[in-house]
Chains A and B, each alone.
Chain A
C-alpha cells in the first residue's frame, strides 16, 4: 500500500535539520504564564463593595441627605423582603422574563446580523432601522407595546426584544465586517462555503465581537425589562414591581433595596457569565482582554 509507504517515509526525516528546527522551536515558544491572578480577581470586586459601603455609611453618618437610609436598614429591608416571600418570586419572574427574552433576542438577532452582513439590500434597508431602535430608550417603547399588546407578558417581551435585538444584530454584523479578508480567503481555499463557511469560519472569527454584542444585548434587554416592569401595572410581578412599590409607598429604604437587587443581578451576570466567556475567547486567540 502506498499509504503505509508514505507513513514510513514521513516518520524518517534526514538528520541534522531536525535538531536545528526543534532547537529553534524551543527557543521561540514563550513559556506558559503562571496563573496567579485568581486571588487578585476575587479581591477587586470585594474592595469595590467595601468602598461603596464605607462611603454610604459615611454619608449617612454625616447626614448628607436627610432621606438617605442607612446600609443597615436597607439590609434589614432586604431581609424582610426575603422572609415575607416577596423577593424570591419577584426575582424569579424578572429573571425568567430576561432569560427567555434574551434567548429569543439571540434567535432573532443573530440571524438578522448575518443577513445584514451578507446581503447589501438587507443592510441598506434594515440596518438604519436597527440603529435607530438602538438609540431609542426603553421608556419610549413601553407605552407603544402596552397599547399594541395590552398590559401583558407579551408587551414586556416585546420591549425586551426591541431593546436587545438591535444591539445583537448590529454588533454581530460589525464583528463579521472586521474579519480579516485573508482568513475568509483561507476558508474558501479549504472549501468552506455557504453554511459551512458561516459555522466553521465566519462565526468563530467573529466570536469576540459576538460576545460583546451579546453582552450589550443582555444589558439593554435587562434595562428594558426593568423599565417595562416599572411602568406596566400590577398583574406582572417582578423586581421592577418591588421598585414601583417603594415609589408608591414613598419608602426610600425599599427603593434602595430594589436598586441593589437590580444592580447585583447585573454585576453577577457580568462576573459569572460574560466576563469569563470573554476572557476565555480572548485568551484562546492570544488577544489581551481586560485583566
Chain B
C-alpha cells in the first residue's frame, strides 16, 4: 500500500489542502489540515461531531474559502452529495439527471440517452420517468448519485450520504458506489461518522480530531475490493480505528 501511495502522490492530486485553517469568528474549526487526495483515490473522512468534516468538504468543493492555507482542486466544479438527496421534486428521476447534463452543456438530443446510461449505472434502469416522491430513500440517493455523476466531474464529494438509510439499503448503495468509483475512476472524499462504512469503502481512512479539527491519524486500507461490511478484515480494522476514535472523544471529556 505504501508504495502505491508514493507513486500516487507524484501525480497532481485531485484535491490538495495545504495548511488549510478555518475559523468562524473566534471558533477554530479546522486547524492546519494537510490532505492530498490522489486522482482516482477513495478517501474516507472520519470523526465525531464537531470535527469540521462538513466544513472541510465545503472547502474542497470551493463553496467556502480557508481562513489560512490553500485549497487546490483539479476539478472546476466538484460534484456534491448530501445526507438529504436534494433532488428537485418537480422533475422526474431522469429529469433531475438531464438537468445536470443540460447545465453542463450537453446537447438536448444526447441528454436522454446519457441520463438512461447514468441511471443504469446506479442500477435504476427504467426509473427515468419516476417521480421523486414515488421512490424509496435508497433509490433517491442513487438518483442523486447519478445526478452528481452527470455533472461530469471526476471529483465526488459526499457528506454522510447514506446516514439516513437502513442497513440493507446502505449495503446495496456501498456496492453501487464502489462499482461506480471503479468504473469511472473517480476521486472520492466520503465523510462519515460510521467507522465500518469508512473501512468498507475507502482506500484510506483519515481520522479527524474534534475542536479544532485536526488530522489525528490515517490508515491505508489494504483489504482488496470487492469488500463486504461484515468481512473479518473490515471488522478488525474497524475495531482498531474505533479505539482511536474513542480516545479522541475521551480527550475532550478530560478538558
Contacts and interface: CB of A to CB of B under 8 A. Distances in A.
Interface of A: 6-7, 9-11, 13-14, 17-18, 20-22, 24-25, 28-30, 32, 182-183, 185-186, 188-192, 196, 200-201, 204-205, 207, 281, 284-286
Contact of A205 (B80, B88, B123, B132): B88
A204 B96 CA distance: 12
B123 A10 contact: no
B168 A24 contact: yes
A6 B184 contact: yes
B121 interface: yes
Nearest to B124: A25
B172 interface: yes
B200 to A, nearest CB: 14
Interface string B97-130: 0011011100000000000010011011001001
B226 A14 contact: yes
Interface string B144-183: 0001000100000000000000001101100110010001
Contacts of B168: 20, 24
Contact of B139 (A9, A29, A182, A188): A29
Given A9-B183, A28-B138, A200-B99, 15 more contacts: A20-B171, A21-B138, A21-B172, A22-B123, A24-B168, A24-B172, A28-B135, A28-B137, A29-B130, A182-B86, A190-B104, A190-B147, A190-B151, A201-B88, A204-B91
A191 B139 contact: no
Contacts of B79: 189
Contacts of B193: none
Nearest to A26: B136
A22 B91 CA distance: 22
26 contacts: A6-B183, A6-B184, A10-B117, A10-B120, A10-B183, A13-B179, A17-B176, A25-B127, A29-B135, A29-B136, A29-B139, A30-B134, A32-B134, A182-B86, A183-B86, A185-B63, A186-B80, A189-B63, A189-B79, A190-B147, A191-B103, A200-B102, A204-B91, A205-B88, A285-B90, A286-B89
Contacts of B117: 7, 10
Interface of B: 61, 63, 77, 79-80, 82, 84, 86-91, 99-100, 102-104, 117, 120-121, 123-124, 127, 130-139, 147, 151, 168-169, 171-172, 175-176, 179, 183-184, 226
A28 B136 CA distance: 6
A284 B104 CA distance: 25
Contact of A21 (B61, B130, B176, B226): B176
A22 B136 CA distance: 12
Given A11-B120, A191-B77, A286-B89, A20 B136 contact: no
A248 to B, nearest CB: 51
Contacts of B138: 21, 24-25, 28
A196 B99 CA distance: 11
B198 to A, nearest CB: 20
A9 B176 CA distance: 13
A32 B131 CA distance: 11
B89 A285 contact: yes
A28 B142 CA distance: 14
A285 B179 CA distance: 31
B76 to A, nearest CB: 9
Nearest to A32: B134
B135 A284 contact: no
A186 B88 contact: yes
B131 A284 contact: yes
